[in-house]
Amino acid sequence: MADDIALKNCPFCGGEAIAKNKSFYRYPVWEVGCRNKHPWIFIRAIEREAAIAAWNTRAPDPLARAEAFEEAARWHEEQGRSARNNANRSLNKMHAALSTRATTHHDSATYCRAHAAEIRKGARGE
């Protein structure tokens, strides 16, 4: 039965994971993520089993994990630049929201880069 599938802990902080049935742009999806509520660490899928299988998949090579964090950092940097550019062009109430979004992406990129550096350091045995 699908309820028997065990969730692995968060691959980043070791925290407990949770699977929730949610709505994403009016479509029902399953979301699996860390209970510590890292806003950028979750998996979405239409089927519960697929979401759990994706969550439970781990990169065996620490350098592959570091590269994944660096890729996430690049994505957050691009999203932050886009939000900042839109905020600079906006003269209405959206300015504050876009500025906040840009800051959030900057913070996420900083976290991802720092975590990638820690992984690489550990892989080198330092």
Give the start-to-end residue ranges of the domains of the chain: 2-56, 62-123
What is the reported pLDDT for 38? 63
> Given this model, what pLDDT does residue 93 score?
61
Does residue 1 register a pLDDT over 50?
no
* pLDDT value of residue 37: 65
Per-residue pLDDT reduced to its tens digit, 24-65:
777 888 888 888 766 567 788 888 888 888 888 876 677 887
Query: Is the pLDDT at 92 greater than 50, yes or no?
Result: yes
Query: By mean pLDDT, which of 30-39, 52-61, 88-97, 109-118 is the weakest?
Result: 88-97
State the Cα–Cα distance between residues 36 and 18, nearest whole angstrom: 10
Tell me which residue of 87, 67, 79 sits closest to 105, measured CA to CA. Answer: 79
Cα distance from N-terminal residue to C-terminal residue, the chain: 44
- Its pTM stands at 0.48
Q: What is the mean pLDDT of residues 79-103?
A: 74
| H or E stretch covering 65 | helix 62-89
